[in-house]
Chains A and B, each alone.
Chain A
């Protein structure tokens, strides 16, 4: 979170809405530990990362859907072991659980 605060501040000063995605749990081999975070502005700017670049694209899409009200804040799972998992996987074979929500608190 520390590394994305400056970008979040800048976007909020411009009056742009922001969504935040955080790694909350990792099973097996995962590139980033719980607490790794990225922020997405409503116009699609990105700060930080939640994996080694494997799932960031899909996270931006999910974050924008949440900011546009097409999706509720929720846990999202990326990986191969879960039937519900996104089509996007992690090259390292692990599973990560992200919580994605608007920064409206």
Chain B
């Protein structure tokens, strides 16, 4: 089973490993893959069925943690009174989150580098083929010569809450369709680069293109990044990625020194 798990992790295909960590059959395992029958057993067919179903859901959400069941997969609290429970550790190996970066500029190279460090699968997209080359962005997983509208219609449905779209073009004929495409997906983060002036002009163009709903406008992080005084492409990349993290965790972003709460939560 280890070999199947290992190969699956290496090829970044989704897989979840379920291990009994407390109760009967400690160490028993179930390996779960979407579209395949589960492999292995936790010691009871009904337990396997219920846990396998729940593990697929955890995998879909890319979550990892311990779950408790009765010996036959019972989950309702009344059924668990006076029975031995089984604690299983469900470990999800979900495909890496995606970052799509529009615009093949200097900031793109730095952002792609930091995003790779954070585990993103990075796609760089620009319509200008002299700029959008693998040689300029060796750290990106793919470099596409394409228009945003086309990329979103072909692959927009693959974006979800864990993913990010960063628009760094400063060119309204490119960034307006990129933002409109991103707004049409459930992508978790949409950031758009530009000065306050560029931002104001772009908001007018976006309104002309039909982006007027407050709920949709609220999703735009524009100008992109946290206010840390970043100047260079590398510092700006840190500011953007820090904003992505703080949006995901729902935190405001003061310095740890000036707060009092738990550092991890």
Residues in A lying within 8 Å of B, measured CB to CB? 1-2, 5, 8-9, 22, 24-26, 28-31, 33-35, 72-75, 92, 94, 97, 99, 101, 103, 105
Q: How far apart are A7's CB and chain B's nearest CB, in angstroms?
A: 12
- B27: contacting residue among A1, A26, A29, A101, CB under 8 A: A101
Given A1-B9, A25-B66, A33-B64, decide whether A103 and B2 contact each other with a Cβ distance below 8 A. yes
Is B91's CB under 8 angstroms from A29's CB?
Answer: no
Is A22's CB under 8 angstroms from B9's CB?
Answer: no
Is B2's CB under 8 angstroms from A34's CB?
Answer: no
Does B264 make an interface contact (CB < 8 A)? yes
State how many residues of chain B have any CB contact under 8 Å with chain A.
25
Name which residue of chain A comes closest to B265, CB basis. Answer: A29
Is A31's CB under 8 angstroms from B2's CB?
Answer: no
Residues of B within 8 A of A5 (CB): 6, 9-10
Q: How far apart are A35's CB and chain B's nearest CB, in angstroms?
A: 5
Name which residue of chain A comes closest to B63, CB basis. Answer: A34
Does B263 make an interface contact (CB < 8 A)? yes
Name which residue of chain B comes closest to A5, CB basis. Answer: B6
Residues of B within 8 A of A35 (CB): 64, 91-92
Does B81 make an interface contact (CB < 8 A)? no
Interface centre among A22, A25, A29, A99 (most CB of B within 10 A): A99
- A99: contacting residue among B2, B19, B40, CB under 8 A: B19
Is A99's CB under 8 angstroms from B21's CB?
Answer: yes
Is B264's CB under 8 angstroms from A30's CB?
Answer: yes
Given A5-B9, A22-B91, A30-B264, decide whether A105 and B65 contact each other with a Cβ distance below 8 A. no
Q: How far apart are B93's CB and chain A's nearest CB, in angstroms?
A: 7
Is A105's CB under 8 angstroms from B2's CB?
Answer: yes
Q: How far apart are B13's CB and chain A's nearest CB, in angstroms?
A: 13
Residues of B within 8 A of A97 (CB): 66
Given A5-B9, A30-B264, A34-B65, decide whether A24 and B26 contact each other with a Cβ distance below 8 A. no
Name which residue of chain A comes closest to B91, CB basis. Answer: A35
Is B93's CB under 8 angstroms from A1's CB?
Answer: yes
